[in-house]
Amino acid sequence: MSVTATEPAYLLEVDGLSKAFKGLLAVHDYHVRLSEGEILGIIGPNGAGKTTVFNLITGVLAPTQGRIRFQGYDIVGRPPHEIARMGIARTFQNIRLFRALSVLENVMLGLQMHTHVGLGETILSLPGFRERERRLAEEAMHLLELFDLAGMWSNQAQSLSFGHQRRLEIATALATRPTLLLLDEPAAGMNPSEKEELMTLITHIHKEFNLTIILIEHDMRVIMGICQRIQTLNYGEIIAEGTPAEIQANPHVIEAYLGHSHAVGAVLQRA
């Protein structure tokens, strides 16, 4: 999107990334070069190491080996909150919201890292503090409107329906004003029409917020519909990479993904 000829550097560069849990090699030699504005899809069977890749990039897990550079900075070893502050936001496979907090508070929490308030002005409730809180709430409401959640701003996050919770989680991730957004199976558990809405939403926020996105997804329709490039992981290794069309035709992918090549071929064709 905004990659200029004078600025050839990649937004995210990952090289030789490996993670071993005791004896198990969850991720082996993962690598990626991501340009600004790209949408990359990661597919692969359960346990292929997709979520582990996200956990490594966001600092939740420390890699056994490898290098991760974001905007030219080495981010391996940095704590998760610092990586989030640098501009990498994520959602989780099993929706993680602050359940007892209100919808508005969930979004405000994501926004608040950009405004620092001192302990003194907080306790004395100085005008500057109140003004910043007011602006934070306003901005959060604005974001909620975009996600069609403004009407339920005062509800507890846990009281929301599944689909609304997914949307709220993406909203809280966007509240951190990320450059890179990592979406971990956002369509899981959704019905076809909800998936359709989700695809529209992702395409929309991709443009609106100038995002670069990595999307882990099982649903072929979703992934083929919005990704320009797809990586396939199996047993922690990249077994194929290419455009949706290339991936669909790749025999390794077809074999790894569901095992029975004929059946898979049919599934992928339909998608």
Partner 1 sequence: MNKNALFYLALLTGLLFLAQSLLNDYYQRVLAVVFINIILTVSLNLTNGFAGDFSLGHAAFMSIGAYLSAILTLPPASKATLMPQLPTWLGQLELPFVVATILGGLLAASVAAVVGVPVLRLRGHYLAVATLGLMVIVRVVAINWTTITRGAKGINGLPAFTNLWWVFGWAVVTVYVIWRLVNSPYGRAMMAIREDATAAAARGVNVTAHRMLAFCVGAFFAGIAGALWGHLITAITPHSFSFLITFNVVVMLVVGGMGSISGSIVGATVMTLVPEFLRRVETSLSLGGHPLYGLSQIIIAVTITLVMIFRRRGLLGGREVQLPSLFDRRRAAPRARIETTG
State the residues that interact with partner 1 by CB under 8 A.
58, 60, 79-81, 84-85, 89-90, 92, 96-101, 105, 108-110, 112-113, 115, 117, 119, 122-125, 129, 133, 136, 172-173, 175-176
Contact between residue 35 and residue 10 where contact means Cβ atoms under 8 Å apart: yes
Helix (H) or strand (E) run with residue 267 in it: helix 261-270
Residue closer to partner 1 (CB basis): 25 or 126: 126
In whole angstroms, how close is the CB of 255 to partner 1 at the nearest point? 35
Backbone torsion region of residue 3, taken as left when φ is above 0, otherwise alpha when ψ lies between -120 and 50, otherwise beta? beta
Which of 12, 32, 81 is closest to 233 using CA atoms?
A: 32
SS3 107: helix
Other beta carbons less than 10 A from residue 16's beta carbon:
12
Query: Between residues 39 and 108, which has the closer beta carbon with respect to partner 1?
Result: 108
Q: How far is the CB of 175 from partner 1 (least distance, A)?
A: 7
- In this structure, which long-range contacts are made by residues 195-203, counting pairs with CB atoms below 8 Å and at least 24 apart in sequence? 195/219, 195/221, 195/222, 198/166, 198/222, 199/225, 199/226, 201/147, 201/167, 201/170, 202/39, 202/226
Least distance from C-beta 181 to partner 1, angstroms?
A: 12
Whose Cβ is closer to partner 1: residue 58's or residue 212's? 58
For residue 90, the minimal CB distance to partner 1 (Å) is: 6
> Smallest gap, in angstroms, from Cβ of residue 229 to partner 1?
25
Work out how close the CB of 254 gets to partner 1 at its nearest, in angstroms, rounded to a whole number.
34
For residue 174, give the H/E element and its range: helix 162-175
- Indicate the residue among 84 and 256 with the shorter CB distance to partner 1: 84
What is the SS3 assignment for 124-181?
HCCHHHHHHHHHHHHHHHHHHHHCCCHHHCCCEHHHCCHHHHHHHHHHHHHHCCCCEE
221 within 8 A of 271, measured Cβ to Cβ: yes
Q: Which is nearer to partner 1, 106 or 232 (CB)?
A: 106
Cβ closest to partner 1, residue 5 vs residue 119: 119
Q: How far is the CB of 114 from partner 1 (least distance, A)?
A: 8
Nearer to partner 1 by Cβ, of 88 and 268: the residue is 88
| CA-derived radius of gyration, the chain | 20
